[in-house]
Structure 1
Amino acid sequence: MRFPRRSHPPRGSRPPRLLASLLLTPFLAGCFASSAGGDGAAGEGAGDGSRLRVALAFPPTGHLSPHGADATLLSRLGVTEGLTALDGNGAAAPALAASWRRADDRTWLFTLSEAVFQDGTDVTPAAVAASLTHAAEARPAPAALSGITLTAKAEGADGVRVTTGEPDPVLPLRLSSPSLAVLAPKAFAKTGAVDPVGTATGPFRITRLTGATAARLDRFDDYRGGRAQASGIDVRFIADGAARANSLRTGQVDIAEAIPVAQAASLDAGTRRETATTRTTSLLLNTRSAAFRDPALRAAARAAVDTSALADGVHEGHADPGAGIYGPAVTWAAGKRVPPTGRTWSAAPGRTSLTLATYDNRPELPEIAQVLKQQLEKAGFTVKLEVREYSRLESDALAGKFDAFVGARNSLLDTGDPVSLLASDFTCGGGYNLALLCDKAVDRAVAKARAVAGTGERQDAVMAAEAAVLGTDAVVPLVHQRVITGVGAHVGGVLLDPYERTLVGTGTRR
């Protein structure tokens, strides 16, 4: 099905874009509709509007490259967009691509909407193809492309041909990933670097980044979806959850993400928004470390964990006990779940010592880690706990420097496709494989699920792959989270969704 192309101001009518003023010195140092619609988008009569003040939990970790952990930050702030987005049912919806069709089992053709980059250049098939090519060649690979070989080429005046090495029946869904945002050629001018400053397509553009503490965004008036109601966004990165809650309570910010459970009661009921999410907190066991190379010791660690103590205790009922990699927000998972396969009998820990690491950007995680430490020590392990801010922990975690890791992961964040999480987190070639798991049975099960096209059949294959992963005891699902967002009583149009891809859009205002 083709969609009508959006009207756009004449090319010559655009004001000059900021150039040198957008170059950042600190930058070098240091299921739901996209914001294009579905959020009460403002029309041209929105006026100048007020600036929004937003407190985020996670500062940039990768120089704001969308190919890494910062992709969601850019998406949530309305900076970047992809060819597709996710609609209310978690299906692929038009974004920079107005429509698409499958040409053969490995090839898709996307027809572009009429749009402009924040540097004033047109969104062309060549620019889109080049942006996707850079993402495909990035190392480590974006999680959405874990195990996927992708090539993109311009096709005529408004088309992009995307080809995959193997058949990929959910490619339009995959291309909705924040890590596959489309950027202007200028973003890739520096070898090995990706600069989204003034090169994205969203309703807001970054104009200043102050290290890991703050950022300024201004409205992008040429946004294809209409002018945003807010004139800009002032962002503060506040790792401490109590400080985020206090900043909302005292009126210093309008929106504060990830309010800790312990701080929720301190906010007026009208300023709390609780959202069921597809985020699962898990214990990941390093399968190559001395402590957990033996699957029997991993089984012993899994047997030591009491998840109900975490959901009812640490989360005070604002979470559900871990049932699997996919929780209650993935509505079809519970009815299709099968028992873990290939699980080993547990062994006595003996004198096994281990280092358990987590981060404090999500305040519940250190508390969970402390409870796990007690549970594991009761079972016979000797546990050292290490807590850092996430940006100072990620590289060591990916390098396997810890024996165990407690992390919160949105199971459908990267693509909206449940297979992608399994591929990126639990296969031999996975780009976010914190457990360093490399198991042939798991890889086969994930590959099988990836090849299935039918929705119901794909879900069945996903749950069989989940059973294979859980059978290794490389991951112990702990709790399925509900996220509390603080929203000022005067603020409207905030975008909250289970995938946590959106927060601010064209209709967000105060």
Structure 2
Amino acid sequence: MPSVPRRRLAAALLAAPLLAGCFAANDDSSSEGPEGSADGDRLRVALAFPPAENFSPYGADATLLSRLGVTEGLTKLDANGAAAPALAASWKKESESSWLFTLREAEFQDGGRVTPAAVATALKHAAEAKPVTAALSGVSLTAKPVGDTRVRITTANPDPALPLRLSSPGLAVLSGKAYGKDRVDPKGTATGPFELTDTAGATKATLERFDGYWDGRAQAAGIDARFIADGTARTNALRTGDVDIAEAIPASQTASLEKDQRRETATARTTGLQLNTGSGAFEDAGLRAAAREAVDGSQLAEGVYEGHADAGAGIFGPALTWAESKRVKPTGRASAKDPKGTSITLATYDNRPELPEAAQVLKQQLQKAGFEVKIVVRESSRIEGDALAGKFDAFLGARNTMLDTGDPVSVLASDYTSKGSYNLSLLSDKKVDAAVRKAEDTADTDKRQDATMAAEATILGTDAMVPLVHQRIVTGVGSSVEGVVLDPYERALVGTGTRR
């Protein structure tokens, strides 16, 4: 058995509450509202990011499936960021590396029962996915059935955050029929209240209500989802009544909506400048320091984001309420060099319309400091791969630090360590790796938070990432719509109580 201190897992982060928390919903409607009509109306939803991987459950598309109510995992995050029951009704820690999860009675959308064997198979496929799903970056796990209702999950190394990790959209549980030879297909094989039935490339998706959902029948008959990368077009679709819900309304378009059509939510999303430390101009720490000194996030917060953001304080923003009081000042930063006309390429994507405008402001700030700047803007699915391959000197992006796992330490591991799967800055620094590893190995809540902020300071000390703003997201909601899920972690948008 573990010693007493090691058993003091994060009450606010890891412990399973008796009841799952819920997020705020439009018009104060619970996402588990009263039964609707026999059929219900269909919901028309406009999403900002089109599927980039044919709805694979392991990459960025996993979040689309989660937001549309298609997939779910063993756990979920409640409003306080704690692990709450989902397909697992409860769990307990058996040892430093072993956890036992008890499943609730639930069905897959193809009619099969959610069994321990099915869960073990789903997690096995997730663990073997290439590239590795972000939730398992640096983590090795195995799952084995235990009787008729339980599954034991064992990690190669102690993982105090495992219940949080299993809430990741990238660790959704699908039936055995999902796992074909060439791809994983979530159509009709998930467990959520809505079943993905048809897709039209990267433009549309059709979902039908799954009447066998374990947590109650959804009030909407189905969802007609459209993927509209242009923020103005998404806003106009809501204003003209073509859609009922539009996510990520641009700051510049917010005022064009009626007051009762706007829902602003504080999130864990930080917009930052990732500097390529692996090749090009920003291999030089002095030039990274010069870039960091040149940019001013407060100008972006008040100008580009029109007050719907706060100036960047670190990798973790104010949505993590404990972060600011524990923030550590970065040390060991290099002295800034004169850029002397050094040419750099700054890339970003246009799915979040503030980013191209922010890139223009950054260009002016960097050029004033002595850089020559070229901007590249593409749709997110067409630029992210090149960014990960190091084809740009700097990448401007918005990252929800609680999206992948709900564990801030895991975000640091995937984004900034040598073996991280989403290391846009191509950072390879032994001090950073050690600091993140120390945080990963810390179980006590308070000490884990301290170690997390120490690791953040070590990362910021390299100037591989420059925090710019912490965003607040505006969701457009039609006047007749109720029950939209306002999730600060951006994993959910529609639920059983969402209706019109």
User: What is the TM-score with the length of structure 1 in the denominator?
Assistant: 0.92
Counterpart position of 1:91: 82
Asked if structure 1 preserves the Cα contact closer than 8 Å seen for 2:34 and 2:497, the reply is: no
SS at match of 1:265: helix
Counterpart position of 1:140: 131
Counterpart position of 1:79: 70
Counterpart position of 1:359: 349
* Residues 54-73 of structure 1 deviation map (CA, whole Å, 9 limit, x = unaligned): 00000001111111001111
Q: How many residues align?
A: 482
Counterpart position of 2:370: 380
In the TM superposition, residue 124 of structure 1 has moved relative to its aligned partner by 0.9
Alignment match of 1:294 (pick from 284, 288, 298):
284
In the TM superposition, residue 42 of structure 1 has moved relative to its aligned partner by 4.9
Asked if structure 2 preserves the Cα contact closer than 8 Å seen for 1:321 and 1:478, the reply is: yes
- Alignment partner of 1:468 is 2:458: yes
Asked if structure 1 preserves the Cα contact closer than 8 Å seen for 2:72 and 2:87, the reply is: yes
In the TM superposition, residue 32 of structure 1 has moved relative to its aligned partner by 4.6
Alignment match of 1:188 (pick from 179, 184, 190):
179
Distance 1:447 1:486 in 2: 40
Counterpart position of 1:394: 384
SS at match of 1:465: helix
Distance 1:314 1:33 in 2: 28
Alignment match of 1:60 (pick from 51, 54, 60):
51
Counterpart position of 1:177: 168
Distance 1:438 1:137 in 2: 24
Distance 1:405 1:424 in 2: 16
Distance 2:411 2:253 in 1: 31
Counterpart position of 1:158: 149
Alignment match of 1:503 (pick from 472, 489, 493):
493
Asked if structure 1 preserves the Cα contact closer than 8 Å seen for 2:16 and 2:82, the reply is: no
- Alignment partner of 1:274 is 2:269: no
Distance 1:41 1:273 in 2: 19
Counterpart position of 2:217: 227
Distance 1:438 1:46 in 2: 56
Alignment match of 2:301 (pick from 311, 314, 323):
311
Alignment of 1:340-359 (within 5 A): 340-359=330-349
Structure 1: runs of 5+ lacking an equivalent: 5-30
* Residues 414-449 of structure 1 deviation map (CA, whole Å, 9 limit, x = unaligned): 111110110010001111110010110000000000
* Residues 236-261 of structure 1 deviation map (CA, whole Å, 9 limit, x = unaligned): 10010000000000000000000001
* Residues 404/333 of structure 1: CA separation in 2 closer, same or farther (3 Å cut): same
AA in 1 matched with 2:97: R
Counterpart position of 1:251: 241
In the TM superposition, residue 351 of structure 1 has moved relative to its aligned partner by 3.3
* Residues 103/46 of structure 1: CA separation in 2 closer, same or farther (3 Å cut): farther
Asked if structure 1 preserves the Cα contact closer than 8 Å seen for 2:72 and 2:191, the reply is: yes
Counterpart position of 1:26: none
AA in 2 matched with 1:216: T
In the TM superposition, residue 342 of structure 1 has moved relative to its aligned partner by 2.1
Distance 2:299 2:315 in 1: 18
Q: Percent identity?
A: 69
Counterpart position of 2:407: 417
* Residues 215-237 of structure 1 deviation map (CA, whole Å, 9 limit, x = unaligned): 11000011111110000000010
Counterpart position of 1:494: 484
In the TM superposition, residue 139 of structure 1 has moved relative to its aligned partner by 1.5
Structure 2: runs of 5+ lacking an equivalent: 1-14
Distance 1:3 1:186 in 2: 32
Alignment match of 2:418 (pick from 416, 424, 428):
428
SS at match of 2:469: strand
Asked if structure 1 preserves the Cα contact closer than 8 Å seen for 2:24 and 2:486, the reply is: no
SS at match of 1:334: helix
Distance 2:54 2:388 in 1: 18
Distance 2:76 2:23 in 1: 6
Alignment match of 1:123 (pick from 114, 122, 127):
114
Asked if structure 1 preserves the Cα contact closer than 8 Å seen for 2:73 and 2:172, the reply is: yes
Asked if structure 1 preserves the Cα contact closer than 8 Å seen for 2:16 and 2:84, the reply is: no
Asked if structure 2 preserves the Cα contact closer than 8 Å seen for 1:34 and 1:85, the reply is: no
Alignment match of 1:112 (pick from 103, 109, 120):
103
AA in 1 matched with 2:171: L
Counterpart position of 2:5: none
SS at match of 1:130: helix
Asked if structure 2 preserves the Cα contact closer than 8 Å seen for 1:32 and 1:90, the reply is: no
AA in 1 matched with 2:61: D
Distance 1:185 1:370 in 2: 48
SS at match of 1:208: strand
* Residues 349-393 of structure 1 deviation map (CA, whole Å, 9 limit, x = unaligned): 123211100000000000111111111111111111000011111
* Residues 349/222 of structure 1: CA separation in 2 closer, same or farther (3 Å cut): same
SS at match of 1:408: strand
Asked if structure 1 preserves the Cα contact closer than 8 Å seen for 2:277 and 2:425, the reply is: yes
* Residues 112-161 of structure 1 deviation map (CA, whole Å, 9 limit, x = unaligned): 11111111111111110011111111121111111111111111111111
* Residues 473-509 of structure 1 deviation map (CA, whole Å, 9 limit, x = unaligned): 0000000000000001100000012101110000000
